[in-house]
Structure 1
Amino acid sequence: MPLNIPIALTWLRIAMIPLIVGVFYLPDAWTAGWRDAAAALAFIVAAVTDWLDGWLARRWNQTSAFGAFLDPVADKLMVCAALLILLDLGRVDSLIALVIIGREITISALREWMAKIGASSSVAVNWLGKFKTAAQMVAIPCLLYWAPWRGLPIRWIGTVLIIVAAILTFWSMCWYLRMAWPQMRERATGGPQ
């Protein structure tokens, strides 16, 4: 396993997940009103490391197969953990959480299978996935923070963006499945159609 700064940042993102989750299990008397802000800030720091580790890996030519595997795993763990907390707090609808988490599992399995059959380029990341990720990475800290901030309706912004993220999530899942469909059909029938 290679260890460099980009991979260390990815590991840091994974290590921050218990922090984001853990603050919601502290007694209210201990958090004195800073719980939501701390969780939102931790999520923002983790999201920034997501961008930074990829940028550094490309800039310093430190990309690796392990880093390419670990980075999306860290992202999915972080988003799924935050969604489960938000679901428990009643700040996100269960259908939205199901769509986002279900898509992550489905596309991860699809990418693994496509890689096994040598067709991973069919399900390479595209612009739709990037917009979906951006909407999620802004919506989730807004929903974690929940309170108005400097007159901005953070709760409303987060709610709208998580709905947008769920729509983009479903759309991107359909797009990836459509791209993989010829390979899936060929494997199911035993030959090209």
Structure 2
Amino acid sequence: MDDGELGDAVGRARGGDEAAFGVVYREVHPMLLGYLYALVGEDADDIASETWHDIVRDLRRFHGDGPGFRGWAATIARHRALDHLRRAKVRPRTTALDDGTAEPPAAPDSEHLALENIATERALALIAELPQDQAEAVLLRVVLGLNAPTAAKVLGKRPGAVRTASHRGLKRLSERLSGAGEK
């Protein structure tokens, strides 16, 4: 979906069109979830839920286009993630969560989906190993598709600093991947 279509869908969602909100959610959520996964790990789904709660609550006050909405959503997600990380420092988790959920039977064409998910998880894990400023810049620029000025607003930095951090992060990822390919 291009930025114009997203902007149109956001505008209709602001007016109460539930189907348009569904379009916006399906377009933005996977990228937002990837960004949050890199910031908070396994708690990304919970933080994404909090983020969408805030987005729904404040959507009528949002004024902007498709890229502006992506930036606004990323800003909310980042604030929720930082709040979560601060709470975790004050009240660390003391017991492991039971991860014994039953998996549904795999569909016949699930091999491709599984390989795609593994590749995505590996990419996000590699990004998470970068210094935080580089990781966030790469996630915002590449995963969420934000331009440098919008990503800079999200991070509270200058666009040039975001471009530099993104470039350094991508260069470091490239070096890691080329080094892994040689082994």
Q: Same fold (TM over 0.5)?
A: no
Q: What range is the shorter-chain TM-score in? A: 0.3 to 0.5
Q: TM-score, normalised by structure 1?
A: 0.35
